[in-house]
Amino acid sequence: MAALRARTVLLTGSNRGIGLELVKQLLGGPRPPAWIFATCRDPEGPRAQELRDLASRHPNLVLVKLDVANPSAIADAAKIVEGKLNGAGLNLLINNAGIYAQVSLETVDSEEMIRTYRTNAVGPLLMAQAFLPLLKKAARNSTEKGLSCSKAAIINISTVMGSIEKTSESFFKPVISYRCSKAALNMLTKCQALTYGEAGILCVALHPGWVKTDMGTQEADLTVDTSVRGLLSVLPVLSEKHSGNLLNWEGKVIPW
C-alpha cells in the first residue's frame, strides 16, 4: 500500500471523533508528518484533553485554536501556521469539522439551515481561501509530478448524505440542514478542483462511512479506527483522475 508522504498537515475539528483519530493514526504511521496542525475550537478546554496529552508526547503536533464558523479565527490561525512553517508550504488541508441536527422539512428553520451551512460549507470555503497561499507554496516546492496529497491537497470530509442521486436510500433520516450543507460542500469541492488544479492542488470530498462517533452514534457500522484506516489508505492513491470527486473510505467513487 502506498504511504502518505505529506510533510505538513492541518485538520479542523480534531479534538474528538474522526478528526482526533486522524491525528492519532497520522502520528503513529510509518512516516509521520514533520508538522501536524490539529485545530479545534477550544484547545485549552476539557474536550481537548486527549489532544493535549498527545501534544505533550509528540513535538510535531501543534494545537491551534480555530472555529471554522468564525472568519477572523480562520485568518488568525492561518497567520499562526504560516509563522510556524517558517517558509515551508502546507501539503494537506483536511476540512473535517462538521455539525449535524435531526431536523425534517417540517421542523427545520432558517437559523438551523444557516448555522449548519456556515460550519459545513462556508467554513471549508474560507479555510481553503485562507490557506491557499501555503498550499500553493507546497505545490511549487514539490518535485512530484501530477496531483497528490503528498504535494498539495484539500480534502473535504463530506458524506453520502450530500449525494442527490443517493438521497432516497437514506431518506428515513431527513436531516435537511445537514444534507443541503454537504451537497453544497460537494459542489464546492468540484469548483475548487476546477480552480485550484492549475496551481497543482488536488481537491477531493471523502465520505468516511457511517462511523461510531458522537455524530454517528454507537449504532453506526464502522469503528472510528476502521474508517480512519480506510481514509488514510485512500489519501496516498488519490491523483488528478480523482480530483473533483466524492469517494468513500474504501476509495470507491460515489455519484453526486
Q: Which is nearer to ligand NDP, 144 or 250 (CB)?
A: 250
Closest CB 92 distance from ligand NDP, rounded Å: 16
Q: Which is nearer to ligand NDP, 112 or 240 (CB)?
A: 112
CB atoms within 10 A of CB 138: 25
Q: Which is nearer to ligand NDP, 71 or 197 (CB)?
A: 71
Closest CB 210 distance from ligand NDP, rounded Å: 4
Closest CB 115 distance from ligand NDP, rounded Å: 9
Q: Which is nearer to ligand NDP, 119 or 148 (CB)?
A: 119
Closest CB 212 distance from ligand NDP, rounded Å: 7
Give the type of residue at 131: F
Contact 139, 187 (CB under 8 A): no
Q: Which is nearer to ligand NDP, 15 or 148 (CB)?
A: 15
The rounded Cα 207 to chain-centroid distance in angstroms is 10
Closest residue to ligand NDP, Cβ-based?
Answer: 17
- Alpha-carbon distances of 17 from 12, 99, 161, 201, 228, rounded to whole Å: 11, 12, 18, 27, 10
Closest CB 32 distance from ligand NDP, rounded Å: 21
Which residues would be at the binding site for ligand NDP (CB under 6 A)? 12-13, 15-19, 40-41, 47, 67-69, 96-99, 119, 157, 159, 207-208, 210-211, 213-216, 220
Q: Is 160 left (phi over 0), alpha (psi -120 to 50) or beta?
A: alpha
Whole-number Å distance between alpha carbons of 11 and 2: 21
Whole-number Å distance between alpha carbons of 72 and 62: 20
- Kindly tell me the burial class for residue 49, based on how many C-beta atoms sit within 10 Å of its own C-beta (0-12, 13-18, 19 or more): exposed
Closest CB 204 distance from ligand NDP, rounded Å: 14
Q: Which is nearer to ligand NDP, 148 or 248 (CB)?
A: 248
Give the type of residue at 142: S
